[in-house]
């Protein structure tokens, strides 16, 4: 089941796109401004987003930039012919494709299928059990369960979120400040980097054979932490 988010402040547009994309393999989510879209993306593993550019509260380009901080989900911009400048900005800032009002239903379906196929072929998402596996660790985000070589690990909520974040973003280095802001969802101040270090130390005690010499959640000196994928 593919999860598709349609975000447009015009309800008739959302309704029309839902009709065009009616498919037993698609589950639809609706949003009417960028803020609503961000809330859905936080709660659901969305596989594709159709995003209008001009919306109240938060426009589509701003919402897309925020989504791109944590996700490479395909984003297809919904544009009017008069929005050429915004369209170029959107494609430069991370949009994967665009469709122009008024829509050609056949073109909409084709572009959605193309982006979903590309995303899944590149390993960008899972439509079944939401399972991520790296270095013997298997994280089932549907069951909120983590196992290591078949043995279940008992993680706190923050330890789980930190591990999931790194497993979703392998081979990327994140500073303690980055981690705090992405996991705690607020600006990092004062000793918040120490808070991150404590949580990572506790997490390492559960996932590493030798926490003092980690092979999974590694330190990149002077930069932050990372999990490498494809290398033991």
List b or e across 70-84, with b for residues whose CB sees 16 or more CB atoms inside 10 angstroms. ebebbbbbbbeeebe
* Residues 17 and 106 grouped into a single domain: yes
Over residues 97-130, the pLDDT tens digits come to 888 888 888 989 998 988 888 777 666 655 444 6
* Residues 157 and 75 grouped into a single domain: no
Distance CA 169, CA 163 (A): 10
* Residues 89 and 192 grouped into a single domain: no
Nearest by Cα to 70 from 161, 194, 203, 192: 161
Q: What is the pLDDT of residue 116?
A: 87
Q: What is the pLDDT of residue 187?
A: 87
DSSP 169-184: STT--B-HHHHHHHHS
Q: What is the pLDDT of residue 129?
A: 46
- Residue length of the chain: 232
Using a pLDDT cut of 70, give the percent of the chain over it.
90
Number of domains in the chain: 2
* Residues 193 and 89 grouped into a single domain: no
* Residues 9 and 107 grouped into a single domain: yes
Q: What is the pLDDT of residue 150?
A: 84
What does DSSP say about strands 75-79 and 97-100: parallel, antiparallel, or unpaired?
parallel
Q: What is the pLDDT of residue 70?
A: 80
Residue ending a domain, among 93, 121, 149, is: 121
* Residues 28 and 108 grouped into a single domain: yes
Has residue 158 been placed in a domain?
Answer: yes
Q: What is the pLDDT of residue 10?
A: 92
Residue partners of 201: CB distance under 8 A and separation at least 6:
211
Q: What is the mean pLDDT of each run of 10 residues along the chain (232 residues)?
A: 90 92 88 93 89 89 88 86 62 80 88 84 56 86 86 94 91 91 87 89 94 92 85 42
Domain with residue 205: its CATH number is 1.10.10.10
Q: Whole-model pTM?
A: 0.54
Has residue 44 been placed in a domain?
Answer: yes
Has residue 126 been placed in a domain?
Answer: no
Q: What is the pLDDT of residue 185?
A: 86
* Residues 54 and 151 grouped into a single domain: no
Has residue 127 been placed in a domain?
Answer: no
* Residues 153 and 223 grouped into a single domain: yes
Q: What is the pLDDT of residue 121?
A: 66
Domain with residue 30: its CATH number is 3.40.50.2300
Has residue 160 been placed in a domain?
Answer: yes
* Residues 83 and 156 grouped into a single domain: no
Q: What is the pLDDT of residue 25?
A: 81
Q: What is the pLDDT of residue 123?
A: 61
Q: What is the pLDDT of residue 84?
A: 65
Distance CA 119, CA 16 (A): 24
Has residue 232 been placed in a domain?
Answer: no
Q: What is the pLDDT of residue 122?
A: 64
Q: Which residue range(s) make up the domain with 221?
A: 132-227
């Amino acid at each position: 089941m593919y999860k598709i988010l349609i975000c447009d402040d015009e309800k008739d547009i959302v309704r029309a796109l839902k009709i065009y994309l009616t498919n037993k393999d698609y589950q639809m989510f609706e949003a009417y401004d960028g803020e609503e879209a961000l809330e859905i993306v936080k709660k659901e593993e969305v596989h594709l987003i159709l995003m209008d550019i001009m919306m109240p509260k938060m426009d589509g380009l701003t919402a897309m930039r925020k989504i791109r901080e944590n996700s490479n989900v395909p984003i297809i911009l919904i544009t009017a012919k008069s929005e050429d400048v915004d369209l170029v900005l959107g494609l430069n800032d991370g949009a994967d494709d665009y469709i122009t009002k008024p829509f050609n239903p056949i073109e909409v379906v084709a572009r959605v299928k193309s982006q979903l196929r590309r995303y899944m072929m590149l390993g960008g998402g899972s439509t079944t059990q939401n399972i991520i596996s790296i270095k013997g660790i298997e994280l089932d985000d549907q069951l909120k369960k983590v196992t290591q070589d078949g043995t279940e690990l008992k993680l706190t909520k923050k330890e789980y979120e930190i591990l999931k974040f790194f497993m979703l973003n392998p081979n990327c280095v994140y500073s303690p400040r980055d981690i705090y802001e992405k996991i705690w969802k607020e600006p990092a101040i004062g000793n918040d980097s120490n808070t991150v270090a404590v949580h990572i130390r506790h997490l390492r005690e559960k996932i590493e054979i030798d926490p003092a010499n980690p092979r999974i959640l590694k330190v990149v000196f002077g930069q932050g932490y990372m999990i490498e994928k494809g290398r033991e």
